[in-house]
Amino acid sequence: MHRWLHPSEPRIQALPEELARFVLATPPEPGYLRLLRTGELAKRVFRAREELRSCKVCPRECAVDRLHAVPSEDPRADFATEQRGSARRVPSHIPKGTACFTGRWARVSSAFAHFGEEDCLRGWNGSGTVFFAFCNLRCVFCQNWEVSQLGEGRELRAEALACVLLDLQRQGCHNINFVTPEHVVPQLLEAVLLAAEAGLRLPLVYNTSAYDSMTSLALLDGVVDIYMPDFKYASPVLAKRYLKAEDYPAVARRAISEMHRQVGPLCFDRDGIARRGLLVRHLVMPGAWEDAVEILRFLAEDVSRDTYVNLMDQYRPAGAVLEGKYPELCSGRLTRERDELEAIGRSFGLWRFDHRWRYHG
């Protein structure tokens, strides 16, 4: 992996022609600022909040009332102690039938300047990541099991979450990176509105499993600058077994296509920092070779051959896999398969792979 250059360091002056067209001479302002000025952002917040009355924010379409699911105690209280151990314990104010185990307020696990993301996101000051607790999927191999499945974190009102975003900006982060946001789109929008009114000016990254509803994506249109979906499986059979969502492949295809329609191919500023567009991740998994090939084919043929792709080979057994329930997922690193898959992706016409195109214009 190439080390990211600070702007003060010497850098390569010339870019290959095929890359130069993805470098923005004048980076656009974050989309939500235009919507703020027109009043549309406030309207989006109202519509999103209303979705919580009979929630269909994500493809689970639980249709439960999350709008009034408010804890009797101070919502700023830390509920992390409830989640210790290996069993999920959902707070009493969360209504039954809620797949995401989240009520009126978003539950936040952590927020910090993250230096483990793609170079084009982390730059030299880090990506301002906000990790939301719980998830609308049940990935048995989740690398963040305690957060996504056990729900470690605490509930934050929109005002508190807005302060978190502004603090990440004060730290010098290059963007705000919402991780696992599929089930908290209304809460995300509320916080962005308040933060924008108070001076937030960073691009927004929507870092998702791709299990997103078209309703939520419509609310996010023009708000999100960078979509970063992780397309996990193309087979309904494997999605049902490992994600507990048989409809995941169809949902992910629709969602990623819509994301690309909204923001187009990934583009950068002159320092190589991503400013707008689509970045697709795929974690190479044991026993899912055909799925990976199909995902690459879909991106090339149905989305765009200019799609920026990160094929990740850092899979390790975690979550329920460590309990011995899925022995077929206990194999180790998949670096060789990752390289072979990249070659296949290139044969389909894909060419923008994350580890290859490190540049500094």
User: pLDDT (tens digit, 9 = 90+) per residue, 118-166?
Assistant: 999 999 999 999 999 999 999 999 999 999 999 999 999 999 999 999 9
CATH code for position 101: 3.20.20.70
State the Cα–Cα distance between residues 54 and 56, nearest whole angstrom. Answer: 7
Confidence grade of residue 79 (pLDDT, cut at 50, 70, 90): very low
Alpha helices (runs of H) in 100-235, residue ranges in sequence order = 119-122, 145-148, 158-170, 185-197, 214-220
Question: What range defines the domain where residue 188 resides?
Answer: 17-353
CA distances from 172 to 155, 199, 201 (A): 25, 14, 11
Q: Is the pLDDT of residue 11 over 70?
A: no
Residue 198 tokens read as 């108070």
Number of folded domains in the chain?
A: 1
Residue 286 tokens read as 């044991």
- Does the residue 246 lie in any domain? yes
Report the phi/psi class of residue 90: left, alpha or beta, with left for phi > 0 and alpha for psi in -120 to 50.
Answer: beta
Give phi and psi for 141, each to the nearest 5: -105, 15
State the Cα–Cα distance between residues 231 and 296, nearest whole angstrom. Answer: 10
Name the 3-class secondary structure at 267.
Answer: strand
Whole-structure pTM value: 0.92
pLDDT tens digits, 284-307: 999 999 999 999 999 999 999 999
Q: What mean pLDDT is reported for the chain?
A: 91
pLDDT tens digits, 154-207: 999 999 999 999 999 999 999 999 999 999 999 999 999 999 999 999 999 999
Specify which residues 131 forms β-bridges with: 110, 179
- Does the residue 359 lie in any domain? no
pLDDT more than 90, % of the chain: 83
Please answer whether residues 108 and 154 qualify as being in contact, where contact means their C-beta atoms are separated by less than 8 angstroms. yes
Q: Is the pLDDT of residue 69 over 70?
A: yes
Specify which residues 279 forms β-bridges with: 308
Query: What's the rounded mean pLDDT across residues 322-326?
Result: 88
Specify which residues 227 forms β-bridges with: 206, 278
- Does the residue 183 lie in any domain? yes
**Residue 12, pLDDT score:** 39
**Residue 356, pLDDT score:** 44
State the Cα–Cα distance between residues 306 and 107, nearest whole angstrom. Answer: 35
Q: Which residue has the tokens 């108070």?
A: 198
- Does the residue 244 lie in any domain? yes
- Does the residue 108 lie in any domain? yes
Confidence grade of residue 74 (pLDDT, cut at 50, 70, 90): low
Query: Which one, of 246, 171, 258, lies nearest residue 206 by Cα?
Result: 258
- Does the residue 119 lie in any domain? yes
pLDDT tens digits, 81-116: 444 456 787 888 999 999 999 999 999 999 999 999
Q: Is the pLDDT of residue 10 over 90?
A: no
- Does the residue 11 lie in any domain? no
Q: Where are the beta strands (DSSP E) in the chain?
A: 106-114, 127-132, 154-156, 176-179, 204-208, 226-229, 267-268, 274-283, 308-312, 352-353
- Does the residue 283 lie in any domain? yes
State the Cα–Cα distance between residues 102 and 136, nearest whole angstrom. Answer: 10
